């Protein structure tokens, strides 16, 4: 599915080029990642056998600052996928105006088949594999799909062991106890909620009572569903890889979160005592529900042309990276269904990563209120800048407008720095 994520990212760039004031030579440079490392990771399994995993780190662009982006553990991870995701990180950090470039890494594996001990060995071996290219002023990894605070603590520990001192700011998304920040776990979901609310305001719609479907119930999807629900939205459907649940009267998101933390997935929730009103729904049907907002929060390329033709939501908010194919995007545009692009909607995670990195460098910690206020200010500014570009450049959609802002920021940085040698 994610094989054409890179094609999608490049097509989005090219689509925005005519609207953006970027020198043609610079634009050509922007299409090529600075470097990508592929590493082989031998890991001893619990049964004593040795398995070799493939890991990657793509550093896409550093014109505006150190590389920044998460590490994902997933069977679809490939050189092309991390490259696409590293490109999106570049446009994301530029759009929300963080002093970073863009990167992404990952290991091709099925994390559900790895024990805790195997995951730790894999994480430490991956860190060793990429340690020469990462560092607080060079490239700062963070969580992504199937990685979290636990993996970041192992990465920070491994890197610090080689450095002979504690180096917390080599990664963000750490546990609070080892230099993490208040608010990082919820940051991406909170950012999705903030951009959804602003989009509703822009459209003149009320979020209170609005129906919402969320595809994906990992860190991002579950927090988004919980926060939207606490703000009065009516979350009518959620799903994960095991399938989904639907209740037109609204779901009890906290109860689903409890079920998932006890059983590991949404499967079986409809049979749980007291929740018989919820019906099972497939991921395909969830994407086609007649709702006020559809929030894909899982993986790339789930909104295909077929889905786009049938889609009945009034607005799509992209919590995942690259959930809409380029062709599907065109169909949604023709059908006048607005899409809040991923590089804005899910930027809350990297914004709070930045705040964590700043706190680490100052050896000072902020309280949750200060973190959340700053997150909201930065996202609101980027939202307005995207809207300004949408109007001033007369772009066909919001994604193109977001790219115009991002491409011009990165392009200007390249022009000012010039071409070495
Ligand atoms: N993995 C997240 C993303 O796709 C966060 C990256 C970061 O915090 O560096 O935006």
**22, part of any domain:** no
Residue ranges of E strands in 264-384: 279-281, 293-296, 315-317, 339-340
How many domains does the structure of the chain reveal? Answer: 2
- Percentage of residues of the chain with pLDDT beyond 90: 96
Ligand 1 geometric centre to CA of 102 (Å): 10
Contact 142, 178 (CB under 8 A): no
Residues 277 and 311 in one domain: yes
Structure tokens at 355: 């705040």
Q: Which of 253, 256, 237 is nearest to 245 (CA)?
A: 237
Backbone phi, then psi, for 414, in 5-degree steps? -65, -45
Q: How far is CA 357 from CA 106, 147, 198, 224, in A?
A: 21, 18, 27, 24
Residue 112 has pLDDT above 50, yes or no: yes
Answer whether 68 contacts ligand 1 (Cβ < 6 A).
Answer: yes
Residues 40 and 114 in one domain: yes
Tell me the C-alpha distance between 382 and 420, whole Å. 31
Residue closest by Cα to atom 7 of ligand 1: 350
* pLDDT (tens digit per residue) in 90-110: 999 999 999 999 999 999 999
Ligand 1 geometric centre to CA of 50 (Å): 31
Residues 151 and 217 in one domain: no
Answer whether 82 contacts ligand 1 (Cβ < 6 A).
Answer: no
Q: Give residue 1's pLDDT band: very low, low, confident or very high (50, 70, 90).
A: very low
The pLDDT of 389-403, averaged and rounded, is 98
Ligand 1 geometric centre to CA of 276 (Å): 37
**3, part of any domain:** no
pLDDT at 272: 63
Domain end position, chosen among 318, 345, 372 = 345
Range of the domain at 258: 187-345
pLDDT at 2: 46
Residues 163 and 46 in one domain: yes
Q: Examine the residue annotation and report whether 104 is marked as an active-site residue of this protein.
A: yes
Q: Of all atoms in ligand 1, which is nearest to the CA of residue 353?
A: 8
Residues 123 and 271 in one domain: no
Q: How far is CA 342 from CA 25, 295, 323, 383, in A?
A: 27, 10, 8, 12
Q: Of all atoms in ligand 1, which is nearest to the CA of residue 92?
A: 10
**386, part of any domain:** no
The pLDDT of 237-256, averaged and rounded, is 94
**156, part of any domain:** yes
Answer whether 69 contacts ligand 1 (Cβ < 6 A).
Answer: yes
* pLDDT (tens digit per residue) in 198-225: 999 999 999 999 999 999 999 999 999 9
- CATH number, domain at 68? 3.40.50.10860
pLDDT at 3: 55
Residue 277 has pLDDT above 80, yes or no: no
Residues 115 and 143 in one domain: yes
**408, part of any domain:** no
Residues 127 and 193 in one domain: no
The pLDDT of 143-151, averaged and rounded, is 97
Domain end position, chosen among 159, 178, 197 = 178
Ligand 1 geometric centre to CA of 275 (Å): 34
The pLDDT of 243-258, averaged and rounded, is 94
Angle at 354 between CA 349 and CA 357, to 5 degrees: 125
Residues 158 and 243 in one domain: no
Residues 199 and 330 in one domain: yes
pLDDT at 268: 87
* pLDDT (tens digit per residue) in 280-307: 999 999 999 999 999 999 999 999 999 9
Residue 134 has pLDDT above 90, yes or no: yes
pLDDT at 278: 86
Q: Of all atoms in ligand 1, which is nearest to the CA of residue 70?
A: 1
pTM of the entire predicted model: 0.97
Tell me the C-alpha distance between 46 and 24, whole Å. 53
Residues 172 and 209 in one domain: no
Backbone phi, then psi, for 368, in 5-degree steps? -60, -40
Q: Using CA of residue 190, residue 192, residue 196, residue 199, what is the dihedral sign?
A: positive
**360, part of any domain:** no
Domain end position, chosen among 282, 313, 345 = 345
Residues 214 and 170 in one domain: no
The pLDDT of 143-154, averaged and rounded, is 98
- CATH number, domain at 300? 3.40.50.720
Residue closest by Cα to atom 9 of ligand 1: 69
What average pLDDT does the chain have?
96
Contact 323, 342 (CB under 8 A): yes
* pLDDT (tens digit per residue) in 256-275: 999 999 999 998 887 665 56
């Amino acid at each position: 599915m994610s094989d054409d994520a890179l094609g999608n990212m490049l097509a989005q760039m090219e689509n925005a080029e005519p609207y953006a004031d970027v020198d043609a030579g610079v634009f050509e440079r922007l299409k090529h990642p600075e470097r990508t490392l592929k590493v082989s990771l031998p890991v001893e399994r619990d049964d004593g056998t040795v398995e070799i995993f493939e890991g990657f780190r793509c550093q896409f662009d550093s014109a505006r600052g150190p590389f920044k982006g998460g590490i994902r553990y997933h069977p679809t991870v490939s050189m092309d996928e991390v490259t696409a995701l590293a490109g999106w990180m570049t446009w994301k950090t530029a759009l929300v105006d963080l002093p970073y470039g863009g990167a992404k890494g990952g290991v091709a594996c099925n994390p559900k088949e790895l024990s805790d001990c195997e995951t730790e060995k894999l994480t430490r071996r991956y860190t060793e594999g990429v340690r020469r290219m990462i560092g607080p002023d060079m490239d700062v990894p963070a969580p992504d799909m199937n990685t979290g605070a636990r993996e970041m603590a192992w990465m920070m520990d491994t890197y610090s062991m080689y450095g002979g001192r504690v180096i917390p700011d080599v990664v963000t998304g750490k546990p609070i106890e080892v230099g993490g920040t208040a608010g990082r776990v919820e940051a991406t979901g909170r950012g999705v909620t903030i951009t959804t609310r602003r989009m509703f305001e822009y459209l003149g719609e009320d979020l209170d009572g609005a129906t919402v479907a969320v595809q994906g119930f990992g860190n991002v999807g579950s927090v988004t569903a919980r926060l939207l629900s606490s703000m009065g939205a009516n979350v009518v459907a959620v799903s994960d890889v095991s399938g989904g649940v639907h209740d037109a009267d609204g779901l009890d998101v906290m109860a689903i979160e409890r079920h998932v933390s006890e059983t590991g997935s949404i499967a079986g929730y409809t049979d749980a005592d007291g929740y018989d009103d919820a019906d099972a729904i497939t991921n395909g049907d969830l994407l086609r529900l007649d709702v006020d907002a559809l929030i894909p929060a899982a993986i790339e390329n789930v909104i295909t042309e077929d889905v786009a033709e049938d889609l009945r939501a009034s607005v799509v908010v992209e919590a995942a990276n690259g959930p809409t194919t380029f062709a599907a995007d065109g169909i949604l545009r023709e059908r006048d269904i607005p899409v809040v692009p991923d590089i804005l909607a899910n930027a809350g995670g990297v914004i709070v990563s930045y705040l964590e990195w700043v706190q680490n460098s100052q050896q000072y910690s902020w309280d949750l209120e200060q973190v959340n206020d700053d997150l909201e200010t930065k996202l609101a500014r980027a939202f307005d800048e995207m809207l300004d570009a949408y109007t001033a450049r007369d772009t066909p959609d919001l994604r193109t407008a977001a790219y115009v802002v991002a491409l011009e920021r990165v392009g200007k940085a390249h022009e000012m720095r010039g071409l070495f040698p």
